[in-house]
């Protein structure tokens, strides 16, 4: 394994690949009310464009993981980028809310290639500690997207229509395609590639799903991150409709929480020079459970109004900056030649749970912040309990 000395170009390319999802999710969040008006749709129908996107992320990763283990990392990245570009154009031209939902699903099928294969590339190149540092670096880059994307989306709504966001996302996909084609090297040598025979793929998935260590880290991470998806799904209603935050300023409030990601990622890199990923992960899960419980109490009691809700939300989302890099590195490190499939399983679990938490928030009555807060608190506490039960490390 290589030492932790990635080139700046590699970091930028992997950062752009991991930004596929937050850019695709966060940029159009301020346009939810505009989409309701444009399509004469219900709020729950518009929220389905988000839940369906998460479903597409889960399904797509199941495909790209084994394919990348067989053909290498570059070919699936090029194919997925093309699908993403075409689907983004379809979203911009969608004639109905049902059409937008369908194109969002296809957009996710293309865009998820960036997440699953960027994780595999890191596993190809680094050991556990180096991978944890690299994932923390990528999370810091990814943290910029939730700041910029909703800000850009909110400002675009002042001067342009919601379709402009998807034209921009198509352009972002073109940029990714160019970077991958010309500057990303292949990191999986031919001698380490695996068979794509259905029986072999099935047995590989069974082995991964039966691995208690892998599943303990994957499930605990996915549950806590499901709380973030509940926040993403519920925050447009809570902030804009419930608390009266103007749509053009929604991005400022939403993006403020992303600073927690960036700060945690930077602290995480420094902490890894002094302690292990396992210690940081265990503490991060405990802190997330406490912060998530405080989010629930704030919504239940109404103490402090909007500020009383946003403060524990900030700390909950900050904890994810410690949980994500370390749990991913620990889950993937023992997987060796199955890195692509293992990365796919991790992503499938994460976004299946994310989609479910988003669907729960969307289905519950829209009368308060409680549906979002209950889901966040419950997911955080479950994440801690699952880690204690399956991994058992303090």
Summarize pLDDT for 138-168 with one digit per residue, the tens.
Answer: 877 666 665 667 667 777 777 888 898 899 9
So what's the pLDDT on residue 145?
66
With a cut of 90, say whether residue 294 has pLDDT above it.
yes
Confidence of residue 178 (pLDDT cuts 50, 70, 90): very high
Token pair 């996107």 in the structure block, residue: 53
Q: Which residues pair with 2 in a beta bridge?
A: 126
Q: Is 95 exposed, middle or buried (0-12, 13-18, 19+ CB in 10 A)?
A: exposed
So what's the pLDDT on residue 374?
93
Range in 95-104, 203-212, 379-388 with the lowest mean pLDDT: 203-212
Q: Residues 40-77: pLDDT tens digits?
A: 988 778 888 988 887 888 788 888 888 888 899 999 99
Contact 372, 198 (CB under 8 A): no
So what's the pLDDT on residue 394?
46
Domain residue ranges of the chain, discontinuous segments joined by +? 9-187+195-390
**Superfamily of chain region 9-187+195-390:** MFS general substrate transporter like domains (1.20.1250.20)
So what's the pLDDT on residue 2?
47
With a cut of 50, say whether residue 314 has pLDDT above it.
yes
Token pair 């109490």 in the structure block, residue: 297
Q: Percent of the chain scored above 70 by pLDDT?
A: 94
* Arithmetic mean of pLDDT over the chain: 86
Span 96-111, mean pLDDT?
Answer: 94
So what's the pLDDT on residue 150?
66
Q: Residues 4-45: pLDDT tens digits?
A: 466 788 888 898 888 888 788 878 878 888 898 899 988 778
Collapse the DSSP code of 53 into the 3-class scheme (helix H, G, I; strand E, B; otherwise coil) and give the result: helix
The more confident residue out of 258 and 17 is 17
Q: How far apart are CA 258 and CA 302, in angstroms?
A: 24
Span 204-213, mean pLDDT?
Answer: 90
Q: Percent of the chain scored above 90 by pLDDT?
A: 34
Collapse the DSSP code of 297 into the 3-class scheme (helix H, G, I; strand E, B; otherwise coil) and give the result: helix
Collapse the DSSP code of 207 into the 3-class scheme (helix H, G, I; strand E, B; otherwise coil) and give the result: helix
Range in 141-145, 204-208, 284-288 with the lowest mean pLDDT: 141-145
So what's the pLDDT on residue 143?
62
Token pair 């994307």 in the structure block, residue: 149
Span 258-263, mean pLDDT?
Answer: 76
Confidence of residue 334 (pLDDT cuts 50, 70, 90): confident
């Amino acid at each position: 394994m290589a030492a932790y000395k990635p080139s700046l170009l590699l970091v930028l390319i992997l950062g752009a690949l991991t930004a596929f999802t937050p850019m695709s999710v966060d940029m159009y969040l301020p346009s939810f009310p505009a989409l309701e008006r444009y399509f004469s749709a219900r709020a729950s129908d518009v929220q389905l464009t988000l839940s369906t996107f998460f479903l597409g992320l889960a399904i797509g990763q199941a495909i790209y993981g084994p394919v990348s283990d067989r053909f290498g990392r570059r070919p699936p990245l090029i194919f997925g980028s093309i699908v993403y570009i075409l689907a983004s154009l379809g979203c911009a031209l969608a004639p109905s809310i049902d059409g937008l939902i369908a194109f969002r699903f296809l957009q996710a099928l293309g865009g998820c290639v960036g997440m699953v294969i960027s994780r595999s590339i890191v596993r190809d190149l680094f050991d556990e500690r180096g991978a944890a540092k690299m994932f923390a670096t990528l999370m810091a880059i990814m943290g910029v997207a939730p700041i910029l994307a909703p800000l850009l989306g909110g400002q675009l709504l002042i001067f342009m229509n919601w379709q402009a966001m998807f034209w921009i996302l198509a352009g972002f996909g073109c940029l990714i395609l160019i970077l991958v084609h010309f500057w990303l090297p292949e990191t999986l040598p031919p001698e380490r590639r695996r068979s794509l025979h259905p029986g072999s793929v099935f047995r590989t998935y069974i082995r991964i799903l039966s691995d208690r260590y892998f599943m303990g880290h994957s499930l605990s991470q996915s549950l806590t991150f499901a709380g973030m998806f509940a926040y993403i799904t519920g925050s447009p209603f809570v902030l804009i409709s419930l608390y009266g935050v103007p749509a053009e300023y929604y991005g400022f409030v939403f993006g403020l929480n992303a600073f927690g990601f960036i700060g945690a990622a930077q602290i995480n890199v420094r902490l890894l020079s002094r302690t292990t990923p396992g210690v940081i992960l265990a503490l991060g899960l405990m802190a997330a459970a406490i912060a998530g419980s405080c989010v629930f109490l704030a919504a239940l009691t109404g103490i402090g109004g909007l500020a009383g809700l946003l403060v524990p939300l900030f700390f909950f989302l900050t904890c994810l900056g410690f949980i994500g890099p370390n749990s991913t590195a620990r889950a993937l490190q023992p997987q060796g030649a199955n890195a692509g499939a293992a990365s796919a399983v991790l992503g499938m679990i994460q976004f299946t749970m994310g989609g479910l938490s988003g669907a729960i928030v969307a289905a519950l009555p829209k009368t308060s912040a409680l549906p979002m807060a209950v889901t966040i608190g419950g997911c955080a506490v479950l994440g801690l309990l699952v880690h204690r039960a399956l991994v058992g490390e303090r």
